[in-house]
Structures are given as C-alpha cells and as structure tokens.
Amino acid sequence: MGRWALLILVSAVALVITGCTVDAVVLFDPVFAATADADGAITRQIANVSPGRRVRVVSSAAPTAEELLVAIRSGGRTDRVIVPGLLSGEVERLAPDLPGVRFFLVDHGRGSTVGGGVTPITFDRTSAFSQAGRYIADWVDRHHAQSPGVLLLFSEESPIRVAERDALLEALGEPQATVRIQGFASRPNRDRLREAVRWPEQTGPTMVGLFLAGANATAREVVTASAIVTEGAHRVSPRVVASVSNEFADGVAAALAAGENPEGITIPARFLRFPNTEAVGP
C-alpha cells in the first residue's frame, strides 16, 4: 500500500472516530500554532467571530500535504477548510485530491494566483496605513514639545508596499517635527537597521514607524524611540502605541460567510490603537 493510500486510510479511520460534521476546519501548521496562537488568542478570536457555527481548530504535525490531510480529516467532515497563507503551496498540492472541499488561504500573497479549489483571502491595508499616518500626525501635535523627530522605515519590495507607504505619507502631511523616511527594497538585517536609525544631530527620534514586514521584530531591537507604530503585531511591548494588523480571525469570518466557490475575497485590515500608552521623550 502506497504512502498516500495509507494516510487516506488513517484519515478515514479518524473521520469515523470523530464522526461529526462541522461548518469549517481551521488548520494551523506547527509554526503558526506556536507563534501566532501561542497563548490561544487566535483560537478565542475565531470562537468570537463564529457564534452558532461549528468550527474546529486543529494543528497539523508537520506542514506537508500528507500531514495536512490527516489533520483536516481529524477535524470532522467539512467542505470548508481555512488555513494561513503560508501553507499555500501544500494546500494547492492537496486540493485536487479533495474535490469536495473548498480551501481558503487567509492573508495569501497578494498578486499571485492560486489553483482550483482554493480561494485566496487578502487584506486591503491602504485605509489602515492612512489611519496610521493620521495617528502619527496627531501624536506629534500632542507631543511636539518633547519630540525631536519622526523616523519612518518602509519595505518597498513591491508596488503594493509602495502604495501603502504613499497612503501613510499623504495622510501624515507636514507635522510639527523633523520627519526622516528610509525605504528598503529588500529585507534589511540588524546592521542595516542600526545604520538607518542613527541620527547624528540628536539622541534619537521620539516616534518611529516600522513597516518592514518580516524585519519588524529585528528593527524593534535596535530603535531607541519611546513610541513605535508598526504592522502585523499587537501590543508586543509598552513602546508599541499602534499597529496595522491583519486579523486572521477576520479572514475566518469572511470564509464562513462566503458563497459557493468564490474566486477571491478582499477584506480591510485594521488599525489598532493602544490608548493607555503615554510614551514621550527620547
């Protein structure tokens, strides 16, 4: 018996054991479960956005098509599976073997195509970036006496990232502070970020905007500012005062509400403020 046939048999046995029909299976790979859902926050958010729905959250043992199949079947009978966009390659390999299942990729790479049986869910972040620009301008107005400057670091790896940058800068206008902008065409390492955040004429800016995607965590380690506006993170430290956030649970809600075989779904990202922070001064 081949490996695929054996795994299908195992998953069928698991299906008999679970024996239930659910509205959707939400599937986490091991990395997503250990990081984004480490404290169960996303699982709780999913429960909040799906009242009255039978949604089973399961984790696969490994991000391979074979393991995903077993994890999906262990979640109960369903025609709707929702997964993080990072699993797109494995899901597209698996989808042809499950013609009765519609896969939803939440936060799928924008601008790329997907195969049959797969629906990408993407986030429109332009409005959230505009809100970030207005927030920074308002913050400077309230704290300009203590604020030597604003430093904005952007990823410019794609036209979409550039459009997000432009939306923020248009909303920012001309605040009462020195504003310095640094763009990166590729992901910067720690040394490049240290160089970017040096301000020879002062000890450092009070407000820093970090919009560097995967390099944000590294950037937070080297900036000296007391207030940070960023993306893709919640309140990771008291210095983070606001964030452009792609909520996985919002993607789950969109997938649950989708009709038959949608080609693609776009939903707005959120701009989150953390009002209890009073970070001022260099």
pLDDT at residue 11, as a whole number: 43
Three-state secondary structure call for residue 76: coil
pLDDT at residue 217, as a whole number: 86
Helix axes 65-74, 3-18, angle to 10 degrees: 20
Domain boundaries, the chain: 3-123+247-268, 126-245
- Common-topology check for domains 3-123+247-268 and 126-245: yes
Q: In terms of C-beta density within 10 A (0-12 exposed, 13-18 middle, 19 or more buried), how is residue 100 classed?
A: exposed
pLDDT at residue 108, as a whole number: 65
pLDDT at residue 177, as a whole number: 85
pTM of the model: 0.77
For residues 186 and 80, give the distance between their C-alpha atoms in angstroms, rounded to a whole number. Answer: 36
Contact 132, 244 (CB under 8 A): yes
Sheet of 118-124: strand order equals: 55-59, 24-28, 80-84, 102-106, 118-124, 265-268
Half-sphere exposure of 157 (CA within 13 A, CB side): 12
Residues for the chain: how many in total?
Answer: 282
Tokens 């399961």 identify what position?
58
- Homologous superfamily, domain 126-245: Response regulator (3.40.50.2300)
In degrees rounded to 5, what are phi and psi of residue 75?
-85, -5
pLDDT by residue for the chain (282 residues), tens only, comes to 444 443 443 344 334 334 578 999 999 888 888 877 888 889 999 999 999 999 999 988 887 888 888 888 888 889 999 998 888 888 888 888 888 899 999 986 655 567 788 999 999 999 999 999 999 999 888 887 776 689 999 999 999 999 999 999 999 999 888 899 999 999 999 999 999 888 766 666 788 999 998 888 899 888 888 789 999 867 778 889 999 998 899 999 999 999 877 788 999 999 999 875 555 443
Tokens 């909040």 identify what position?
48
In degrees rounded to 5, what are phi and psi of residue 169?
-65, -35
Cβ atoms within 10 Å of 198's Cβ, excluding its own = 10
| CATH code matching the domain that covers 3-123+247-268, chosen among 3.30.70.100, 1.20.1250.20, 3.40.50.2300, 3.40.50.1580 | 3.40.50.2300
Query: Which DSSP letter does residue 66 get?
Result: H
Token code pair at residue 133: 């620009």
Contact 87, 30 (CB under 8 A): no
